[in-house]
Amino acid sequence: MNKKSVLLSILLVVSGFVQYSVGVFKASERPSYQALSDIERLFPRTQEDIKKRRSKALSQTAHDVAHIVSLRGADLTFDRTFRALDRDLERFSIVLNSFTVLMNVSQDKEIRAAVTKAVSRMNDFRIDSIELNQNLYYSLKVCALDLFYTIQPHGLTNQEIGARYVDEVLSKGSSEDPETLLTRFLGRGLSSDAFCKDCGLLEGCL
């Protein structure tokens, strides 16, 4: 990799971590990045540190995904499904990206070997436990189907409903809580009834 690519990779890692911090921590609790040492701490220095960070990222993500999958009924809220997964994947990606940078730029052969192994392990986990996790897909599908079946009676190409969705949800960006926006648009809280209907199951199946 050339110098420009290396700097870009590092900036992406740091940028991702800052965005994660802003989304997860309260203003008074957010980490401060005022010196080079603050950025250096994002990257592991030893093989043992690489192993610890990899293990923590894998175990924490596995635990959080299992929790999302275990939710039922009224507990399947936007905050506990989509937002929880988004925050967890952001945290997971920070570790993975820091490893990827070291894999390409570290001058220590043993460090490169360790992070290469860690990256492979984490990518396998991401594919098997997240991207191909059918149970997780079903948990996230609850919110999507609730919106779909609410809009469907009015016509999926209904311009008035589409304009209201853009105005009340999409245009707000991150200025308001996503679940608050969806609740306002739906006129009620999120429900699992649409998911049950789609699956051909009885109401309250979750």
Q: Provide mean pLDDT across the span 193-199.
A: 72
Cβ–Cβ < 8 Å for 190, 142: yes
Range of the domain at 148: 139-199
Q: What is the pLDDT of residues 8-58, one digit of tens each?
A: 444 444 444 444 444 444 444 445 556 667 677 888 999 999 999 999 999
What region does 20 belong to: left with phi over 0, alpha with psi -120 to 50, or beta?
alpha
Within a domain: residue 28? yes
Q: Provide mean pLDDT across the span 153-159.
A: 85
Same-domain pairing of 144 and 161? yes
Q: Using the 3D structure, point to which of 132, 148, 163 is the last residue of a domain.
A: 132
Percent of the residues in the chain that have a pLDDT greater than 70, as a whole number: 76
Q: Provide mean pLDDT across the span 121-143.
A: 89
The pLDDT score that the predictor gives to residue 123 is: 96
Ordered DSSP codes for 2-60: -HHHHHHHHHHHHHHHHHHHHHHS-GGGSPP--SHHHHHTTS--SHHHHHHHHHHHHHH
Within a domain: residue 204? no
Task: Name the pLDDT band for 188 (thresholds 50, 70, 90).
Answer: confident
